[in-house]
Amino acid sequence: MEAERWQVAVERILAVMECTDAQKVRLASFLLQGEAGIWWQTMEQAYPTVREETWMQFKTRFDEQYFPAHVKDQLANQFVDLKQGSMTIAQYGSKFRELSRYAPGYAATERDKVRKFSDDLCPTIMENIINLGSRTVVEACEKAEVAERTKKIVQTARSQHQVNRNQGPPLKKPRTKGRQPNALCPHCGKTHSGQCWKTMNVCYQCGDPNHRRKDCPKAKQYNQPCPPPPQQQAHPPLLQQQNQWRENHNRV
């Protein structure tokens, strides 16, 4: 392949310079280097008339040495068996154009090349462009690249969706029904809401700040022991408790 690329590059230079056949041979042989240069020196020693041969004769000798027929046949077979496989569309298109030159009889027309190119694409891409009616291999390659990008976008979206499904919904904090229970009071050891009476220095029975529960006159008047503070009820404000006791006492 390297020998063929060298030959194509030299022919482009010779075409621009408009050289004669004899000039083409001399110039091309001058550009040979390394192993190829040694080969040409050997040819000149063995066949002195090679310097007078035509350009076509020079190319025939060069191909026999560096690009023989059996190598061209191998490349032609590679083109016949070529499929996209794991290659990207860009890689497949480049390989297709490179090998198609060695099998001119297998894909003689552009239509044959388009059919060969499309039939050997990956099934998921082929089904998206098979009915688009490409007229050239270049056009078919462009449409295949669009289908390839679309396929990648869909696969990425599906993968992300699957990851989200596997992770599940975000965890929610459990909700408790009703009101939250009151915390245990550190002053009286009971559970209640509001300010603790023990910190207010008042009677636990009537809320009077002038005496304590054991000396409460209201409890002695009715010969009733002072009950302990309510467990789950909030202590009423001091002024409200005093008014309530006055009303009850007046009624009695």
- Which residue has better confidence, 198 or 150? 150
Q: What is the pLDDT of residue 217?
A: 73
Contacts of 143 (CB under 8 A, 6+ apart): 129, 132, 134
Q: What is the full DSSP assignment across 126-191?
A: HHHHTTS---SHHHHHHHHHHHHHHHHHHHHHHHHHHHHHHH-SPP-PPPPSSPPPPPBPTTTSSB
- pTM equals 0.53
Contacts of 216 (CB under 8 A, 6+ apart): 203, 205, 206, 208, 226
pLDDT tens-place string over residues 92-123: 999 999 899 888 888 888 889 988 998 899 88
Going by C-alpha positions, the residue among 85, 74, 62 that lies closest to residue 6 is 62
Q: What is the pLDDT of residue 228?
A: 54
Mean pLDDT, rounded, for 61-85: 90
The pLDDT confidence band at residue 234, using thresholds 50, 70 and 90, is: very low
Res. 218: pLDDT tops 80 = no
Mean pLDDT, rounded, for 177-182: 55
| 162 close to 139: Cβ distance less than 8 angstroms | no
Mean pLDDT, rounded, for 42-67: 89
Res. 178: pLDDT tops 60 = no
Res. 83: pLDDT tops 50 = yes
The pLDDT confidence band at residue 233, using thresholds 50, 70 and 90, is: very low
Q: What is the full DSSP assignment across 239-251?
A: HHHHHHHHHHHHH
User: DSSP 3-state assignment of 106?
Assistant: coil
Res. 200: pLDDT tops 50 = yes
pLDDT tens-place string over residues 114-156: 889 988 998 888 877 766 678 889 998 988 898 888 888 888 8
The pLDDT confidence band at residue 232, using thresholds 50, 70 and 90, is: very low
Tokens of 214: 């054991």
Q: What is the dihedral of CA 124, 125, 128, 131, to 10 degrees?
A: -110
Q: What is the full DSSP assignment across 24-42?
A: HHHHHHHH--HHHHHHHHH
Mean pLDDT, rounded, for 75-97: 92
